[in-house]
Amino acid sequence: MERVIISTSGLQKLTRQDIDKAAPVLAAGFEDDPFFSYLLPDKTNRLEALTLLLKNYVDMLYDYGSLFASSKRMEALAFVYRPHQIKEPATFPEQLKYQLQVWLAIAKSTPLCRQIGVKQFVRLFQTSQTMNSEWVQHFVHDDCAHLEFLVVQEQYRGHGLARKLLGRILSSCRSKSLTCSLETHNPRNIGMYEHFDFELVERIRMPDSDLVQYCMLYNP
């Protein structure tokens, strides 16, 4: 499969070296998100733990996607990757490379145990077995773009930055005839995505909790 990464004009494409600076911005944007509040219920250490978790997660997927910023100041960030390029690696070495990246990300995240405890650390990975992006393969059988993260720093909200990033990502998807998928756990976000012609296709409920994952698709 051709390794084509989503690209857009007018946005700052960040390098792997920029992930260290981007991770605290992502963590602050998701600190009160229902999903991460469920994963990391202790708010006293959530931001620190989330920064490490998201840093390692984006680093793991970086070769399969693109990390965008509104500018070098990172007022707003978006991370998009191509899930089918992970599920269907072109060669065995590429498949092995991804598996090694997964284990490396887990190994790098083990310091979380000191912050949140072993029990909570195990719960974190168990929850990810239910709340994840596996649903995409049931709706999209060809390559697609998955919008994993979209955040705007609090002091820059209300200036249309999220819409700018999302609009340009979808423009890139249209030019490549790619479906764009995403999930959100905040029902207040659904209206914004519907404004951009995303369709709610599935709800996934976390057993024994009020947490719901809203799965959405944009078809160009």
pLDDT at res. 8: 64
72 close to 12: Cβ distance less than 8 angstroms: yes
**Residue 75's pLDDT band (boundaries 50, 70, 90)?**
very high
Cα distances from 106 to residues 2, 46, 55, 74, 171, in angstroms, run 28, 18, 12, 26, 34
**Residue 1's pLDDT band (boundaries 50, 70, 90)?**
very low
pLDDT at res. 134: 85
pLDDT at 3 over 50: no
Domain limits, the chain: 12-218
CA distance linking residue 220 with residue 174, whole number of Å: 5
Q: Which CATH architecture has domain 12-218?
A: 3-Layer(aba) Sandwich (3.40)
pLDDT at 90 over 50: yes
pLDDT at res. 137: 87
**Residue 113's pLDDT band (boundaries 50, 70, 90)?**
low
pLDDT at res. 132: 80
pLDDT at 94 over 60: no
Q: Does the model's pTM come out above 0.75?
A: yes
Comparison of pLDDT for 193 and 118, the residue scoring more:
193
pLDDT at res. 69: 95
As a whole number, mean pLDDT of residues 23-37 equals: 96
97 close to 60: Cβ distance less than 8 angstroms: no
pLDDT at 87 over 80: no
As a whole number, mean pLDDT of residues 90-114 equals: 59
pLDDT at res. 2: 41
Q: How confident is the model over 174-187, as pLDDT tens digits?
A: 999 999 999 999 99
